[in-house]
Amino acid sequence: MPSISEADRNIIPEIEAAAARLQEVRTAIGKVIFGQDDVIEQALTAILGGGHALLVGAPGLAKTKLATTLGRVLGLAEKRVQFTPDLMPADILGSEVLEESELGRREFRFLPGPVFCQLMMADEINRASPRTQSALLQAMQERHVTVAGLRHDLPRPFHVLATQNPIEQEGTYPLPEAQLDRFLLQIDVPYPSLDAERRMLFATTGAAEEDVGNVLNADELMAAQRLTRIVPVGEQVAEAILRLVRAARPGPEADAFINGNVAWGPSPRASQALMLGARARALLQGRLSPSLDDVMALLGPVFRHRMALNFTARADGHTVDGVIERLSRLID
């Protein structure tokens, strides 16, 4: 751990108090989401970092349930949109309608769409057309939308949890790189273990299911997000982040393997995501500063959707995860 300055010592009580509250959040979520501790941690990491998350997994792995539970436990106003090919941008952002007052005066009134919430669940986002997908771009990055030339600010905080089904790709529209880059983390949701599935089997088929209530509210969450950004980071961790991100990009600084197999690498947003994610993970685990272990744990979720292999690499059987594993050895 790096040496702690006087200013850093002043935030130690805040970090300890926030870590205790966040542990209550994880415990509450664990009552209804079984066997997905890493997924829960990564989802909370993305939210604490002030970003959005892309959940990728087969149907039935509680991705939607996780988003709903997060909204309830964190005290956020949550809405869900099922993305389909016929979904239009106005169905997400809202639209203006012409109304006539009692005095006979006609004027337009803006009707907010489901994006005006604090936690938006975008279910199967790759099933909507690119035009509709792009409607989320401004909202995700700028936290406001523009309709008929007028700006409408979104509630604070605002987070998007989007899901993708990796199995059925027919009739889907892959997200453009510019939108993928706006997701802080890509969270791969695996199948549960035997013990977790056994617990799930009895818990969800009985007469009553476990319910959870609010643990935090929006103001407490935003306070934790502000605290995340001032968690001290050591020079070793910062240098490791820069080394990993720059080594993953084709160019003069990369080795022959990266230059020969990677079409494009992670942008500077990857550096920011690793820094914020490492800070958030340390806070979640009650530590005063992130370590190299935090960086390595988040390398996959940060890099997976920010890298692409060229045709030669795919033909040779290389995968993005394999390249990330190779990069991780730089810090061993």
pLDDT at 6: 53
pLDDT at position 73 is 92
Q: Tokens 């997701």 appear where?
A: 183
Q: How would you classify residue 35: left for phi > 0, otherwise alpha for psi between -120 and 50, otherwise beta? A: left
Instruction: Name the strand (E) or helix (H) holding 153.
Output: strand 150-153
> Closest Cα to residue 215, out of 57, 65, 20?
20
| 307, burial (CB in 10 Å: exposed 0-12, middle 13-18, buried 19+) | buried
- Residue by residue, DSSP assigns 248-302 as TSSSTTS-HHHHHHEEE---HHHHHHHHHHHHHHHHHTT-SS--HHHHHHHHHHH
pTM for this structure? 0.88
CA dihedral 260, 269, 12, 44 (to 10 degrees): -90
Q: What is the pLDDT of residue 43?
A: 94
pLDDT in tens, 84-125: 888 888 889 888 888 777 777 887 888 888 999 999 999 988
CA distances 91 to 64, 136, 270, Å, are 20, 11, 31
DSSP category for residue 117? S
**41-45, 123-127, 151-155 — most confident range:** 41-45
pLDDT digits (tens, 9 = 90+) for 154-187: 999 999 999 987 776 666 778 888 888 899 999 9
Cα separation, 176 vs 270, in Å, equals: 16
Q: Find the mean pLDDT for residues 64-92.
A: 89
**Percent of residues in the chain assigned helix, strand, coil, to nearest 5:** 50, 15, 35
With bands split at pLDDT 50, 70 and 90, how would you rate the model's confidence at 275?
very high
Which pLDDT score is estimated for 7? 54
Per DSSP bridges, beta strands 159-164 and 119-123 are parallel
Task: Provide the pairing of β-strand 144-147 with 150-153.
Answer: antiparallel
- Reported as a pLDDT band with limits 50, 70 and 90, residue 2 is very low
DSSP state letter for 191: P
CB 76 within 8 A of CB 214: no
**Would you state the pLDDT for residue 9?**
65
d(CA 60, CA 80): 16
CB-based burial, 313-332: b 16+ in 10 Å, e otherwise: beeeebebeebbebbeeebe
* Residue 174 preceded by cis peptide, ω within 30: no
pLDDT level of residue 1 (50, 70, 90 thresholds): very low
- Contact (Cβ atoms closer than 8 angstroms) between residue 56 and residue 189: yes
Q: pLDDT band at residue 243, thresholds of 50, 70 and 90?
A: very high
